[in-house]
Structure 1
Amino acid sequence: MNAQPGSIAKVCLLAGKIMLESGAETYRVEDTMNRIATSFGLENAESYATPTGVQFSTEGEVSYFRRISNRSNDLQRITDVNSISRQITAQSLDAKEALLLLKGIEHQSETFPLWLQFIAAALASGSFAIMFGGSWSDFLPACIAGALGYAAMIWIEKLIEIRFFAEFIASFFIAVIAAFSIHAGFGQHLDKIIIGAVMPLVPGLHITNAVRDLVAGHLVAGISKGVEAILTAFAIGAGVAVLFAFFP
């Protein structure tokens, strides 16, 4: 397929941007961008991705860069971009068609509505509380604390746009709800309720991606994602600790 290098670069950059914003590993992002460029006949293309930016260049051409400001976990978008990449590799899409499809993915609404995310957070919280040794009387308080804490994190993050602060407030809110539940006679184990309710906030995917990037040799991305996961865990733990510090 014949296409202008500028058009190919736009496709590669947008694909990489969507994948990074959706929580993909950096080595997967670079591999996808390089495959797209090769499929369009652009030889000697170079891509470089970090958690905060993606760069694409070819020999004798201008280097292109996109900054990544917001990151989340959306595996469906990663799957959709991979599907477009496979169609490009199969020579069934040109650059213009691929760019339109990628823009559609970029501007599409969330894969799951918020109310469904809250229900999933509630059920996951209650289930983890039971799995960690809690009683069935702890299930409902953990569900309520987990759903409200997850909702608080999303609301505060949109309001302040500082994820670590949002997670700190959310975990503190969870601890308050759990303590109130025990005080009101609902539930038996405060620690099990809190542990179960904070699980939807735990950065499991970030930890996994950090390890996979480190194994793949992407040291900068692996270390930065690992530090981000550690800071998130610290924010969650600190939010719970504040409650016990003032109300032992």
Structure 2
Amino acid sequence: MQNDELLTTCLLAGRIMIEGGSEMYRVDDTMRRIAKNGGVAQALVFTTPTGLFIGLEDKPMVKLSPVDRRSIDMEKVAQVNQLSREFAAQAIDLPTLHHALRRLDQHTPFFPFWLQVLAAAVCSTTLMVIFAQAYDWIDMPLAALVGALGYAVYGKISSLTQVRFISELLGAFVVGVTAWVGVRLGLGHNLDNVIIGAVMPLVPGVAITNSIRDMLAGHLLSGIARGMEALLSAAAIGVGIAVIFRFF
């Protein structure tokens, strides 16, 4: 019974971390540490972006857990790490750890959507300045507006469909259309700079970075899978922008 709850807790921690966008080697390490601190000297762990397996050496006990969704939520990853450290320091016991992970999985705190859209506007403006290497005070407000609208569409479509590439394509399309309309109305000067800044909140930079880090850490299957997912996301964004340049 103790081992059953321990393996279930390890799988729950690993799934939360993958859904939060953690690197796979960090997920593997956290699951092993929880198992070791729970009294299992050698746990057999196999992690992929779509599923987790854990078993006990020399014992016929294996558990698995599917991973249905993946996003970027570093707060989830940080809280799982903190709970794992408290368990290692014996500040909490296994049932308390399991309960805390279940509560984290079901009630993860999020920033309100309007604040996320506002952050996308600020990000679009600052990154436009970085990539354009110039303070274009006319294009900056337009880049903020376009970036906010694109991210708002991306967020709303993401809540309606499980296919993330559709939301990224439509978000990029809205970025291209609103940037083109804004420049045509005289609200901005350089269409390229506005689009470059406004599309950046949609770019899967964390996924690409984690893919490379996983491959360098020896998790080749996970690294390639995440890399392909990131490339498909980038392709969807590229198609959404390319449509604007092709027909407008």
> TM-score range with shorter-chain normalisation?
over 0.9
Query: In the alignment, which residue of structure 1 is the partner of 2:20?
Result: 22
Instruction: Give 1:27-176 correspondences, 5 Å limit.
Output: 27-59=25-57, 60-133=59-132, 135-176=136-177
How far 1:130 moved relative to its partner? 1.9
The amino acid across from 2:56 in the alignment is: T
Q: In structure 2, the residue corresponding to 1:128 is in which secondary structure?
A: helix
Contact 2:76–2:108 at 8 Å: present in 1 too? no
Runs of 4+ in 1 over 4 A off after TM superposition: none
How far 1:110 moved relative to its partner? 3.8
TM-score, normalising length: structure 2: 0.96
Q: In structure 1, the residue corresponding to 2:65 is in which secondary structure?
A: strand
Query: In the alignment, which residue of structure 2 is the partner of 1:219?
Result: 220
> What is the alpha-carbon root mean square deviation over aligned residues?
1.1
Q: Which runs of 5+ in 2 are unaligned?
A: none
Same amino acid, percent of matched pairs: 43
The count of corresponding residues between Structure 1 and Structure 2 is 245
Instruction: Give 1:220-235 correspondences, 5 Å limit.
Output: 220-235=221-236
The amino acid across from 1:96 in the alignment is: P
Q: Which runs of 5+ in 1 are unaligned?
A: none
The amino acid across from 2:130 in the alignment is: M
Query: In the alignment, which residue of structure 2 is the partner of 1:185?
Result: 186
How far 1:107 moved relative to its partner? 1.1
Q: In structure 2, the residue corresponding to 1:227 is in which secondary structure?
A: helix
TM-score, normalising length: structure 1: 0.96
Distance 1:210 1:178 in 2: 31
How far 1:69 moved relative to its partner? 1.0
The amino acid across from 2:224 in the alignment is: I
